[in-house]
Amino acid sequence: MSRTRVAVVGGGIIGTAVARQLTRSLDHAEVSLFEKEDRLAAHQTGHNSGVVHAGLYYEPGSLKAKLCTRGGQLIRQFAQQHHVPYDECGKIVVALDEPQSKRLEALHARSVANGVPGVRIIGPDEIGEIEPHSRGVRALHSPRTAIVDYVALTNALADEFRGAGGAIWLKHAATRIEEGDRAVRLSVGDRTEEFDLVITCAGLQSDRVARAAGEQADPRIVPFVGDYFLLAPAKTHLVRGLIYPVPDPRYPFLGIHATRRIDGAVMLGPNVFLSMGREAYEPWQPNLRDLRDAVGFAGFWRFASRNLPAALRESRTALSSRSFVSEVRKYVPDIRAADVDRGPRGIRAQAMDARGRLVDEFAISGTDRVVHVRNAPSPGATSAMAIAEHIVTAALTRAGIGPSTGRTGESRQSP
């Protein structure tokens, strides 16, 4: 009987984790990973802050909470086994006044329900012990929140995938997916091949790839850009770990925070604003197609009309470095505008429905033989290895491909 052939589209951390998980779940299968760039982790994975979230924010019992908890555990184990840079530097979520302190209590209750290890509320004295240059009336301390090098992690997953016989094809963009009676025809570059199962994890291009397979247009991807500043090397001692604001329910995004990276640098940010393109990392290089798709989407304008205060706040920090730094100084007063330089820029693939609502949960669609990851919001990178387990188990079951065989309809028998 012929070997089962499986394709994964998208070489970010989620796609690479899915490809690796397929080789762990199937024996004697041909698994191919297709990435349109000349390297893995070229977009969201390689442009984030590197935080491994512990599960503070998510609704207890939700898929997001479960995958975050499981994903964080898997990353910790994998990083240690494969010598990927990883550091449990800890995190404080700082309340500046009494209303924020009340919201902090609700966040603490949610964290406890999610099983976040060691999480507790601390007062001003302990804030100073953990982060000597931070100020607040109270804070939520998560000692096990960590940072990691997600690019190195993705490459380590890829190495294990290759070692299990998987093939990675760089500079191979998927242009068409067509499901037939017996196979799925996948066009990548100038070639078309047939597969028994195709899983797409295309991030910033996920809606377009899904539509190329005949899926509905919504949810759409609306790209939001986030700019970071970097603390000068002589000032990185001002931040030991991670310093976050208390989430404000009036705003759809988290707010500017301070993050120590695995290389010792300290990032401040990000702000959030509509991006000039899905991959427009330079502000003077807009993508007209991407802009047209975003501003021509009625859902975006419904979202914008409900979030004018947030837009005004974010526009100030986008246009003025002093306004940007003033947000950070609420939590770390010793930081001055002269202490920072422009840093990296990230672009978030935000899924949005036609009513202008942000899709806040993981969104997966498709058929028995074509599966699309339409939305993998934060903590997507943290959850990547758990998402891979979840997707692969469901996809193989739906496709009728038996685990640990690579043959349709069969399963390996215990000796």
DSSP string computed for 263-289: TS-EEEE---EE-SSTT--STT---HH
- Rounded to whole angstroms, how far apart are CA atoms 199 and 207? 13
Taking CA atoms, 47 is separated from 30, 52, 152, 160, in Å, by 30, 14, 13, 23
What is the per-residue pLDDT across 136-146, written as a single tens digit (0 to 9) for each?
999 999 999 99
Query: Radius of gyration of the chain from Cα atoms?
Result: 22
Q: Indicate if 288 and 400 belong to the same structural domain.
A: no
Position of tokens 């979840």? 390
- Which of 72, 77, 73, 70 is closest to 51 using CA atoms? 72
Q: What is the CATH number of the domain that holds 118?
A: 3.30.9.10
Compute the distance between CA of residue 310 and CA of residue 301 in angstroms, rounded to an integer: 14
Whether 272 and 311 map to the same domain: the answer is yes
Helix (H) or strand (E) holding 67: helix 63-82
pLDDT digits (tens, 9 = 90+) for 336-385: 999 999 999 999 999 999 999 999 888 999 999 999 999 988 899 999 99
| Omega before 270 within 30 of 0, i.e. cis | yes
Q: Which residue has the tokens 């990296």?
A: 344
- Please check whether residues 151 and 27 belong to one and the same domain: yes
CB atoms within 10 A of CB 118: 12
**How far, in Å, CA of 142 to CA of 382, rounded?**
15
Q: Which of 319, 337, 352 is the last residue of a domain?
A: 352
| Helix, strand, or coil (residue 226) | strand
Domain identity same for 311 and 284: yes
Give the largest CA-CA distance in the chain: 68
Q: Amino acid letter at 219? A: P
Judge if 204 and 151 occupy the same domain: yes
**Phi, psi for 16 (deg, rounded to 5):** -65, -40
- Pair 328, 232 in one domain: yes
Which residues fall within 8 angstroms of residue 292, CB to CB, at 6 or more apart? none
Torsion of CA 349, 351, 354, 357, to 10 degrees: -110
Query: Tokens for 344?
Result: 């990296």
168, 279: one domain: no
| Residue 408, pLDDT above cutoff 60 | no
- Is residue 157 within 8 Å of 356, Cβ to Cβ? no
- As given in the structure block, the two tokens for residue 329 are 């100084």
**131 in the same domain as 67:** no
Domain end position, chosen among 337, 352, 367: 352
User: What's the whole-model pTM score?
Assistant: 0.94
pLDDT for the residue numbered 358: 92
Q: Domain with 30 in it: what CATH number?
A: 3.50.50.60
Which residues lie below 8 Å from residue 269, measured CB to CB, with a gap of 6+? 226, 227, 228, 229, 256, 257, 324, 343
pLDDT of residue 320: 74
Instruction: Name the band, by pLDDT with cuts 50, 70 and 90, for residue 319.
Output: low
Residue 9 DSSP label: E
Q: Strands, E, within 162-316: which ranges? A: 167-170, 174-179, 184-188, 191-195, 197-200, 220-231, 242-245, 257-260, 266-269, 273-274
- Residue 301 domain boundaries: 87-144+221-352
Q: Domain check: are 382 and 241 in the same one?
A: no
**Structural domain total, the chain:** 2
Mean per-residue pLDDT of the chain: 92
- Report the percentage of the chain scoring pLDDT > 70: 96
* Residue 408 and residue 299 in one domain: no
- Residue 414, pLDDT above cutoff 80: no
Summarised one tens digit per residue, pLDDT across range 62-71 is 999 999 999 9
Residue whose tokens read 């290759």: 162
Are residues 245 and 211 part of one domain? no
User: Using an 8 Å Cβ cutoff, are 123 and 130 in contact?
Assistant: no
Residue 222, SS3? strand
291 pLDDT more than 80: yes
Residue linked to tokens 């899983």: 199
Q: 294 with 274: CB under 8 angstroms?
A: yes
Final residue before a domain boundary, out of 352, 386, 401: 352
- Within 10 A of 47 (CB to CB), how many other CB atoms are there? 21
pLDDT value at residue 404: 52
254 and 234 belong to one structural domain: yes
Asked if residues 369 and 376 have their Cβ atoms less than 8 Å apart, the reply is no
